[in-house]
Amino acid sequence: MASALALSARRRPRLSAVALAAAALVVLTAVFDSVMIAVGLFAYDDERISGVRIGLAPLEDFAYPLAAAILLPALWVALRRRRDDP
């Protein structure tokens, strides 16, 4: 039983790795969304966003990268666990 717990602990994504990936995605989103907004590729209706911006990017733009950074490792663990179960 102890070896099974140790094995499952090794397979979980490390919080530091998830946090580092999330931080990188937030920075990249802020930079590239701001550039795309600045050159006029797209614009946001101020009535449809919260008004909070990071750079030129509205706060709502950061939901997808944060969800990806959190949900993809969770999905990876769930699928791996399902595959390993007899």
What's the token pair of residue 56? Answer: 């030129």
Give the model's pLDDT for residue 5.
45
Note the maximum CA span of the chain.
58
Average pLDDT along the chain, 86 residues, taken 10 residues at a time: 48 84 95 95 90 93 93 87 66
- 8 A C-beta contact, residue 25 and residue 33: no
Give the model's pLDDT for residue 62.
95
Give the model's pLDDT for residue 86.
61
Full-model pTM = 0.73
CA distance 66 to 8: 24
